[in-house]
Copies of this chain bind each other. A is one copy, B any other.
C-alpha cells in the first residue's frame, strides 16, 4: 500500500482493514504508526535479502563477476507490470520520512546499507578475479547500482510504464561490461578518476 499511495497517505485503518485486524489489536502490538514503519523496513531488509541473495539460482555461480552481472540482469527482469509491484518499499518511504522521522530514516538506511554492503562483497571479489581497467571502490559501485535502480523506479512511476526504467538499467549493464573490459580489449588506461572534492 505504501508503494502505491505513499506513507502519509496510507492510514493505520487502511492497513488494519487490509490485514483483517482491528485498530485495537494494531496499537496493542505497535506503539505508533512510525513503529510499524520501522518494523516494516526491518522486515523488508530480511525479505529482500532472501529474494535477491539467497533464492535465485545464479547466486551460486562461482565467478563473482558473473554473479554481479546476473544480479543486475535479475533486477532488470523484475521491472515489468505495475510499478507498485516491483519498486522498493524502503526507497519510497524514506523519501517522505527522512526529514521528519529519524527512526524511519535510520531503518531505511540500514536496509539499503545492508543491500549495498552485500553487493560490495561480490564486487570486491569480481575486482580480484577480473581486474578492471580503472580502479573501482566496491561500495561506491554498489551505491551507484542502487542509485540506478531507485532512479529507474522513479522513471517507471513517472511514465506509468517501465520501459524507460529498463533502458536505464541496460545502460548500467553496459557500464559494468565496460568497466570490466568486456567486448573491447583497450589497453590505454588514462581514464579520469571520479573526482571527489
Contact = CB atoms under 8 A, between A and B. Distances in A.
Interface of A: 4-9, 83-84, 91-92, 94-100, 105, 108-109, 112, 133-134, 137, 140-141, 143-144, 146-152, 154-155, 157-160, 164-168, 170-175, 177-179, 181-184, 186, 188-192, 194-196
17 contacts: A6-B97, A92-B95, A95-B154, A98-B158, A98-B160, A105-B157, A105-B158, A112-B155, A112-B158, A147-B147, A147-B151, A150-B150, A171-B194, A177-B191, A177-B192, A183-B191, A184-B186
Minimum-distance CB pairs A-B, first 5: A170-B194, A147-B151, A151-B151, A8-B8, A6-B96
B178 A175 contact: yes
A143 B157 contact: no
Copy total for this chain: 2
Nearest to A77: B197
Contact of A157 (B95, B144, B164, B189): B95
A194 B167 contact: yes
